[in-house]
Each structure stands twice: as C-alpha cells, then as structure tokens.
C-alpha cells in the first residue's frame, strides 16, 4: 500500500523501523506484565526457555508457527493487492471441512501420501471458495471487503457449529467433533528431524505441513515477485487506476487474489486437523487467522519476513504456556495483547517514528536524504 510519507533508505525502511516498532510493542507488553505484579525480565527468560529450551518446546514452537505462516501468507497476498482479508479465521475454519471430507472419505482407501495432496486441494478449494464470495461482492457490487469478510467469519463459525453438532458427528458420540481418522490420514511427524540435532522427544505435534508451509512461502515469493500475475497484483495494490489503464481486469485481479489468499488460509487447517488432532473439532483455529494479520504486518508482507515473524509468534504461543505454569497471573491470553500491540505499532502506527527518524538521519548525513526533493509529489 502506498504511503503518504517520504522514502527512507532501504535499510532503515526494512530494518530499523520494524525493529523500533516491535521494540515499542514489547515494551508496552512489559508494562502490562509489571501491572499484574510480575517481572518482565523473568517472564521473557521463561518465554525463551519454554520455547527453545527443550526439543519438545522447539517442536511446539514450530507447530504453532506452521499455522501462522499459512495465515500470514494469506493476509500478505491480499495486502499486495491493497485488500485487507480479515476473514482468514473463517477461511481456515471452513478449510478444515475440506480436510475432514477428504480424510473421512479416503482414510481407509489410500495411503497418507495420496491423502495429503487430496487434503491440500480440499482445504485450499473450500478456503478459496469462502474468500471468493466476498471478493465477487467487492468486485461486482462494491461492498466493502473488510466488513464482508468479518461477516463471513461469523457465518463460518455458525456453519461449523451446525455441522459438528449435527451431520458430521458420529451417531454414538456427544462431543461436537468428527470421528478420529484412520492412520492412513495422519501426516508423518517431524520429531525425528529434531532428534537428528540431538534433541530427545517423546512426542511432538510438529508434522509434514511445516514443510508445506515453507514451500508455500517460496511459492508466494515466486508468485508475487516473479510472475505476471504477481506484477498485476502489486500494480493494482499500488494504484488501482494505473492498473486499470494498463489493462488489468479489476474484477479478475480482486477475485483471483482473494481466492489465493483464502486457499492459503484454508491450508492452515491441515496442520492441526490432519497433523495433530486427527479429527475435526470445534474452534480448532483458535485465533490463528487473526495472528496472521500481525504476522503479515510484522513481516512487511514479504515471505522472508513472514516466516521469522510466524516463528516469533509460535514462540510466544509455546513460551506463553510455559510462563503460566510459573506465573499464574500470565496466561496465554497475554499473546492476544502482544498481538494487538504488534498490530497497533507495526501496522496502524507504523509511520509514528518515521518523521523523527528522518530528521535524525538527515542531520547525520544530509546527502543520503537527497531523495527528499521529490517528497511531496505523491502525497
């Protein structure tokens, strides 16, 4: 998205500003920790120890990160087109339906390496479908995509509750979930990779979908920066008018981008449903769709930023659980605050430190700010 502000040197724009914003977000989070009467330094130590101190900890950290890579990429793809897809939560939720349909139908028919690609297709297709409706409504009827995707989150939640307490529930069970899939619909765990590095773990939820997430990060990079479609998406995001004059079909680009975004969000369901719980449960997304917004903002919508940002949030999720054992006042809900602060400082207030940073840089080396001559042109 274009900014009304002057340009900074690239290293400041992509390195310094995100670091400052993150630092402020975590400093405010530290204040909250102080407010509930605990030591922020001790909390941070516990957090890092919980997330990376043991093989099992690393396994959980990367397991959570897997979900966030998918949803972060989903939000980022839409950002490049100037669209705010706030419906990742709902798209991931219905994506679980795609995984469950494939797994319940074929779990005793095919081996896992056939079921896996089928489930990828299933989750991506349903996720894309769920994003397609708001996209078409935006492209053809002009309804605001943010509002429609929020509404679709709620509709998805109602739909899934209906399906899980009704048609999808086995007749002899009370719990709102599907039956457990047979072993042939379980994704292989990646615990052995961690053991190669000398960690010893009994069980880890980390599974093959982590590799898929990394592959998708590369795919998104290629798509956005190395293909014609990606160029059109970025052009439309930068200036819809310019894209239109250049012959980019407005409706087509909106719908295609949102479907890609929805597909990525839908694939997030593979990780918990096929990789760990082996059944479809109520609320299995647990906010991962929303974390994607923070991850995409923090990673500046670039896969190379999104993967570390997702791992950072995975660390917060896993480490947060560890903190709550020692400090009962701090539960995992702390993450929700940090997530909000990151969205606030890295997103809405991203320009806050820019003017002062600019002034500081200009006073240090006036020459490097020579590009300021064109400052007011775009604004």
Partner 1 sequence: MDTLVQLLDAMVRVSVPLLLACLAGLYSERSGVFDIGLEGKMLAGAFAGAAAAAASGSAWIGLSAAILVAVFLALVHGFASITHRGNQIVSGVAINFIAAGSTIILGQAWFRQGGRTPSLAGDARFQTIELPGAAAVRDVPVLGPIYSEIISGHSILVYFAFFMVPFTWWALFRTRFGLRLRAVGENPAAVDTAGISVTWLRYRAVIITGILTGVAGAYLSVAQNAGFVKDMTAGKGFIALAALIFAKWKPVPAMFACLLFGFLEASSIRFQGMDWPLVGRVPVQLINALPFVLTVILLAGFIGRAVPPKAGGVAYVKER
Which residues lie near partner 1 (CB under 8 A)? 1, 4, 32, 35-37, 84, 86, 137, 141-144, 146-148, 150-152, 154-155, 158-159, 161-162, 166, 290, 293, 297, 328-331, 333-341, 343-344, 347-352, 376, 379
Q: How far is the CB of 25 from partner 1 (least distance, A)?
A: 10
User: 62 or 160: whose CB is closer to partner 1?
Assistant: 160
User: 216 or 315: whose CB is closer to partner 1?
Assistant: 315
Q: Cβ–Cβ contacts within 10 Å for residue 10, how many?
A: 8
Q: Which residue has the tokens 């899934």?
A: 160
Q: Give the DSSP per-residue string, 44-104.
A: HHHHHHHHHSSHHHHHHHHHHHHHHHHHHHHHHHHHHTT---TTHHHHHHHHHHHHHHHHH
Contact by Cβ (8 Å): 98, 125:
yes
User: 116 or 284: whose CB is closer to partner 1?
Assistant: 284
User: 51 or 86: whose CB is closer to partner 1?
Assistant: 86
Spell out the SS3 assignment of 200-239. Answer: CCCCCCCECHHHHHHHHHHHHHHHHHHCHHHHHHHHHHHC
Structure tokens at 363: 């006073």
User: 270 or 338: whose CB is closer to partner 1?
Assistant: 338
Question: Measured at the alpha carbon of residue 194, what is the angle toward residues 188 and 199, in degrees to the nearest 5?
Answer: 135
Q: How far is the CB of 329 from partner 1 (least distance, A)?
A: 4
Please count the residues of the chain: 379
Structure tokens at 285: 């997304």
User: 207 or 339: whose CB is closer to partner 1?
Assistant: 339
Q: Which residues of 194-232 are buried (b: 16+ CB within 10 A; e: fewer)?
A: beeeebebeebbbbbbbebbeebbeebbebbeeeeebeb
Instruction: Calculate the CA 140 to chain-centre distance.
Output: 27
User: 274 or 291: whose CB is closer to partner 1?
Assistant: 291
Q: How far is the CB of 366 from partner 1 (least distance, A)?
A: 21
What does DSSP assign to residue 367? G
Q: How far is the CB of 30 from partner 1 (least distance, A)?
A: 13
User: 76 or 120: whose CB is closer to partner 1?
Assistant: 76
Q: How far is the CB of 162 from partner 1 (least distance, A)?
A: 4
Structure tokens at 254: 């909106």
Question: For residue 189, what are the β-bridge partners?
Answer: 207
User: 175 or 348: whose CB is closer to partner 1?
Assistant: 348
Distance separating alpha carbons of residues 215 and 211, to the nearest angstrom = 6
Q: How far is the CB of 145 from partner 1 (least distance, A)?
A: 10
Contact by Cβ (8 Å): 314, 48:
no
User: 228 or 376: whose CB is closer to partner 1?
Assistant: 376
Q: Which residue has the tokens 């250049």?
A: 246
Distance separating alpha carbons of residues 83 and 236, to the nearest angstrom = 10
Distance separating alpha carbons of residues 113 and 104, to the nearest angstrom = 15
Question: For residue 281, what are the β-bridge partners?
Answer: 177
């Amino acid at each position: 998205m274009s900014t009304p502000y002057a340009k900074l040197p690239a290293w400041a724009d992509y390195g310094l500003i995100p670091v400052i914003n993150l630092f402020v977000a975590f400093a405010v989070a530290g204040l909250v920790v102080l407010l509930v009467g605990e030591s922020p330094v001790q909390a941070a130590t516990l957090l890092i120890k919980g997330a990376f101190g043991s093989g099992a900890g690393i396994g959980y950290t990367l397991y959570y990160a897997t979900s966030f890579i998918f949803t972060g990429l989903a939000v980022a793809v839409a950002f490049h087109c100037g669209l705010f897809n706030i419906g990742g939560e709902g798209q991931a939720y219905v994506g679980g339906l795609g995984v469950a349909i494939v797994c319940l139908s074929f779990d005793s028919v095919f081996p896992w390496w056939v079921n896996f690609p089928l489930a990828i297709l299933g989750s991506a297709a349903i996720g894309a479908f769920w994003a397609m409706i708001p996209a078409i409504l935006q492209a053809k009827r002009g309804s605001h995509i943010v509002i429609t995707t929020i509404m679709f989150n709620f509709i998805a939640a109602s739909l899934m509750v209906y399906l899980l307490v009704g048609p999808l529930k086995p007749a002899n069970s009370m719990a709102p979930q599907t039956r457990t899939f047979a072993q042939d619909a379980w994704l292989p765990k990646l615990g052995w990779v961690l053991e190669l590095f000398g960690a010893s773990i009994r069980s880890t939820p980390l599974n093959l979908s982590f590799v898929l997430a990394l592959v998708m990060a590369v795919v998104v990079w290629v798509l956005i920066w190395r293909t014609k479609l990606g160029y059109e998406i970025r052009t439309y995001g930068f200036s819809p008018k310019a894209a239109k004059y250049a012959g980019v079909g407005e409706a087509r680009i909106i719908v295609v981008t949102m479907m890609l975004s929805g597909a990525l969000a839908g694939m997030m369901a593979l990780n918990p449903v096929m990789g760990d719980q082996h059944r479809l449960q109520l609320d299995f997304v647990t906010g991962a769709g929303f974390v994607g917004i923070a991850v995409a903002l923090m990673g500046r919508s670039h896969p190379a930023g999104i993967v570390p940002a997702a791992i950072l949030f995975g660390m917060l999720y896993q480490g947060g659980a560890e903190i709550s054992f020692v400090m009962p006042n701090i539960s995992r809900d702390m993450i929700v605050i940090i997530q909000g602060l990151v969205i606030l400082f890295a997103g809405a207030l991203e320009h806050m430190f820019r003017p002062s940073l600019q002034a500081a840089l200009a006073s240090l080396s006036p020459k490097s700010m020579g590009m300021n001559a064109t400052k007011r042109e775009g604004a």
